[in-house]
Amino acid sequence: MSAVSLLTIEIATAILAIGLLVIGLIVPKDQRQGIGYLATFGLIIVFALTLLYTNVQETVFNGMYIIDPYSTFFKQLFLAAAILVSVSSFDYVKRLGYNQGEFYSLMVFATLGMMMLASAGDLISLYLGLELMTITFFVLTAYRKNDFKSSEAGIKYVILGAMSSAILLYGLSLIYGVSGTTVIGEIAKGLNQGAQPLELLGMIFILVGFGFKVSAAPFHMWSPDIYEGAPTPVTAFLAVASKAAGFAALVRLLVIALPSLQSSWVVIVMVLSALTVIFGNFVAIPQTNIKRLLAYSSIAQAGYLLFGLVAYSALGVAAILFHSLLYVFANLGAFTVVIAFYNKTGSDEIKDYTGLARRSPLMAAVMLLSLLSLAGIPPLAGFVSKFYLFTAIIDQGYIWLAFLGIGMSMVSVYYYLIVIKVMYMGEPPEDSEPMKLPVSIQATLYATMLVSLFFGIYPAPLTDLALSVAKAFFPF
């Protein structure tokens, strides 16, 4: 296939984003609501296009860009997340009332950046994809201009994001300096002349840079403030898709480019993952704001995802793929409830969720299933994916880490149950009425609930897919 036909997905996404930007400028102000529908429709078409590429394994421009089942899996994940977020944000953006076209356009641009991260075959494309994603999120985070918290979150994200990018870039430049190539597939060959201190330094900087992006402890401190301050649909997209994109790139870099340093980076990743699950789960307990609670829970989930990297095996990579899919859908379900609840009540406090089960059984049920899935309770998808993650590390002999993970999962059940208790046992406020949800929100809620339930009860198709993708990706 020619380079252009292999790049169809990226080109289509770029055209969609630029098209939305232009349409947002020429359509009269009172008719801009339709742009959200257009964005969703366009994303669905791009998603359909990716189905044609599921088994393609090719590189273009001498290894500069890789189209393989691994990257296509992640692209489909990002697109699914983008579709669900855009559907669930119709009302939110309408309430926002300004810059509607730009909102969806920026969201599609961020998706394009994530795709580049998953597919990048050299360090320059990887870095540019990362920056495209991050800079778009800077703008989206500060989108509510009259909201003090949103502006504060934007500023914090700019400063910390720029610093972590600088650290990552320094690491990448050191690896280039030692190996003499920026092509990820050839770095391993360039590094073969014995481990040098400089390689280790580059690797550490890369781990720190990506640690920020996936919010692993101790580089997580940006995420709760920013998740709380950003507009909720942006938080949802930031929490699920950008984290998955960070993992896609990190796994490719460590496994393909730096296998010679495996014995060194596995120790660092192990410490990071243990710290992350402990910290994320314990600090989540005292939270009273649902967005902050979900932020700490997603820090903890990043720790579980790092387990797959510690395992350094095809099963580990497959478990990362499986868990990131479950993580995306469970978190999107929970965040969609938060978006809908905010649209109705204007509150993000957990205590205001009291009696939600009686005001809106659907919202409470989706929140329940999403949280239990994140906690890893059978028969939900979270159980299966955590089972694979723990199996992968036990296979490699890290039994203590598996025990730690299981113990921390139990801690997580506690704070998830607090929310569930408020929703189901609490009394609804005196003057409250049943909540009517718009069709778009209902569709998102049903979709996320179905995915969590279906892959929990019948995980075989997804397991087979994840394993075959991981085997094609993992070199040995």
Kindly indicate which of the ranges 126-134, 278-286, 391-399, 424-432 contains the residues binding other proteins, using the contact rule CB under 8 A.
126-134
How far, in Å, CA of 172 to CA of 184, rounded?
A: 11
Query: What residues between 194 and 233 interact with other proteins by CB under 8 A?
Result: 196-201
Q: Does 429 bind other proteins (CB under 8 A)?
A: no
To other proteins, the closest distance from the beta carbon of 114 in angstroms equals 12
Place of tokens 């977020």: 85
Binding other proteins by CB under 8 A: which of 87, 168, 178, 449?
A: 178
Q: Does 12 bind other proteins (CB under 8 A)?
A: no
- Cis geometry, peptide bond prior to residue 197 (ω within 30 degrees of 0): no
To other proteins, the closest distance from the beta carbon of 373 in angstroms equals 33
65 bridge partner residues: 60, 120
Binding other proteins by CB under 8 A: which of 45, 124, 425, 457?
A: 124
Q: Does 237 bind other proteins (CB under 8 A)?
A: no
To other proteins, the closest distance from the beta carbon of 296 in angstroms equals 26
**438 SS3 class:** coil
Give kind and range of the element (H or E) at residue 381.
helix 381-395
Measure the CA angle with vertex 235, ends 232 and 240; round to 5°.
130
How far, in Å, CA of 60 to CA of 185, rounded?
A: 12
Given the complex with other proteins, which of 125 and 360 has the nearer CB atom? 125
**67 SS3 class:** strand
- Taking the CB of residue 19, how many other CB atoms lie within 10 A of it? 16
Sign of CA dihedral 23, 24, 26, 31: positive
Length of the chain: 476
Binding other proteins by CB under 8 A: which of 80, 139, 283, 408?
A: 139
Rg of the chain over Cα atoms, rounded to whole angstroms, equals 21
To other proteins, the closest distance from the beta carbon of 97 in angstroms equals 8
How far, in Å, CA of 13 to CA of 19, rounded?
A: 10
289 bridge partner residues: 349
Binding other proteins by CB under 8 A: which of 80, 107, 112, 401?
A: 112
To other proteins, the closest distance from the beta carbon of 189 in angstroms equals 13
Kindly indicate which of the ranges 139-147, 160-168, 239-247, 445-453 contains the residues binding other proteins, using the contact rule CB under 8 A.
139-147
For residue 446, give the amino acid letter: Y
Given the complex with other proteins, which of 222 and 455 has the nearer CB atom? 222
Tell me how many residues contact other proteins (CB under 8 A).
46
Interacting residue ranges for other proteins, rule: CB under 8 A: 7, 14, 17-18, 21, 29, 60-62, 64-65, 97-99, 102, 105-106, 109, 112, 116, 122, 124-125, 128-129, 131-132, 135-136, 138-139, 142-143, 145-146, 154, 177-180, 196-201
